[in-house]
Amino acid sequence: MPRMNNRRIMAKHYAQGVIAHLNLLGYHDEQAKLVFFRHYREMKRIFGLEPNVGEFAKLIDEFERAIRREEDNLKNPNYIKVGPLHERLIKLKSKQEKWKSTMAFELTESMLQKIKEWDSCHTTDATEAKFAYIFIPTGLGIIIKVTCDICNRVLDLTDDFQ
């Protein structure tokens, strides 16, 4: 019997994990497998194997429930179909992409100099970590504050940021 390559083994374990999470979400063993295989190919095409198995199982559960609602609504003569689930998958993927985007904040040399002048505390631990840097994006700009974890003083650097 030929050995499976690492990618197939990884996908197999991923699928087993998703099915196990579907069991936790209330699907019975056979039902979980049927639901998984019904949605796996399309969702893998869109999301890949990026979401962890719990998130992937929740996505499958969400779409299975949406299909059931759709089927129930089709029986209702007053129901008007809005659009296919594929479009909802694409929208959900774009939301996840937005969540993954990161913001980068930087301190200028003048800000670092102001922090050195303001700092009067000495750390006792090996890391010498004593400041919490707080960046709050607003419509008017970014609020920048530095909090000393030792004496709880706060330095507002907002004016220095232009």
pLDDT tens for 32-60 read 888 888 888 887 777 777 778 888 888 88
Q: What is the pLDDT of residue 1?
A: 47
The structure tokens listed for 61 are: 């559960």
d(CA 89, CA 159): 43
CB atoms under 10 Å from CB of 64, counted, come to 19
Overall average pLDDT of the 63-92 stretch: 71
Overall average pLDDT of the 122-131 stretch: 73
Overall average pLDDT of the 69-75 stretch: 72
Task: Please tell me the total number of residues recorded for the chain in this structure.
Answer: 162
Overall average pLDDT of the 13-40 stretch: 87
Lowest mean pLDDT among 7-16, 43-52, 57-66: 43-52
Local confidence band at 75 (pLDDT 50, 70, 90 cut-offs): confident
Whether pLDDT at 136 is above 50: yes
| Reported pTM | 0.44
Nearest to 47 by CA among 1, 6, 5, 14: 14
